[in-house]
Amino acid sequence: MVNKLSAADLLSLEQYARERAAFRARVLQHKSERQLAVGPNATWCFEDRLTVQYQVQEMLRAERIFEADGIAEELAAYNPLIPDGGNWKVTLLLEFEPAERPQALAQLKGIEDRCWVQVAGHERVFAIADEDLERENEQKTSAVHFLRFELTAAMIASLRAEAMLGLGIDHEHYHHEVQVAPAVRRSLTTDLR
């Protein structure tokens, strides 16, 4: 839990209002090295302590939450998105035009379980999806999923030695994979112990 956020890590609403523009610019730059398009309709956002802090600060600001209980609730909701040192935590966004969204999400049921990462020389690791709550129903999948990828010590060692990293989605109706650019791979490797 050492990497998790506490109330002491957060800015007060007043301080955040003063520093928001600079903090937001810093986070957007940071996210640019942690976000990948996987095909035309899926974006993977690799979360970390900074991205989660930004989400919490934005929620506190939007909801005008300043009492300890409310802050604790937000931290409890968002802290599980911070990697634990042996994994990556990813927000999967499925993005379609409004007119095509219902049919596309109906076709993509189960997509969250077909997302994978692969360190060169190792087996694919498939996502553990939506541990907080079910995001799919009889008709369709959700446009947002939360994924966890557990990596072995050997995979982490290979990444530290700059092994190639690929990731993708292997679903009947959506099959795309990408090779991760070195700068993004290095950023993601900082999540690992």
Average of per-residue pLDDT values in the chain? 93
Q: Name the maximum alpha-carbon separation found in the chain.
A: 50
Each residue's pLDDT tens digit, 18-63: 999 999 999 999 999 999 999 999 999 999 999 999 999 999 999 9
Q: Is the pTM of this model over 0.75?
A: yes
**Does position 98 have pLDDT exceeding 90, yes or no?**
yes
Determine contact, residues 13/67, Cβ cutoff 8 Å.
no
- Phi then psi for 128, rounded to 5 degrees? -100, 115
Token pair for 187: 């950023």
What is the structure's pLDDT at 65? 87
The secondary structure of 13-81 as a DSSP string is HHHHHHHHHHHHHHHHHHHHTSEEE-SSSEEEEEE-HHHHHHHHHHHHHHHT--SHHHHHHHHHHHGGG
All domains of the chain in start order, with CATH: 1-32+49-80 (no CATH), 33-47+83-193 (2.60.40)
Helices (H) and strands (E) in the chain, counts: 6, 9
CB 144 within 8 A of CB 17: no
Give the number of C-alpha atoms closer than 13 A to the C-alpha of residue 13, restricted to the C-beta side.
Answer: 12
pLDDT, tens digit, 9 for 90 and up, residues 101-123 = 999 999 999 999 999 999 999 99
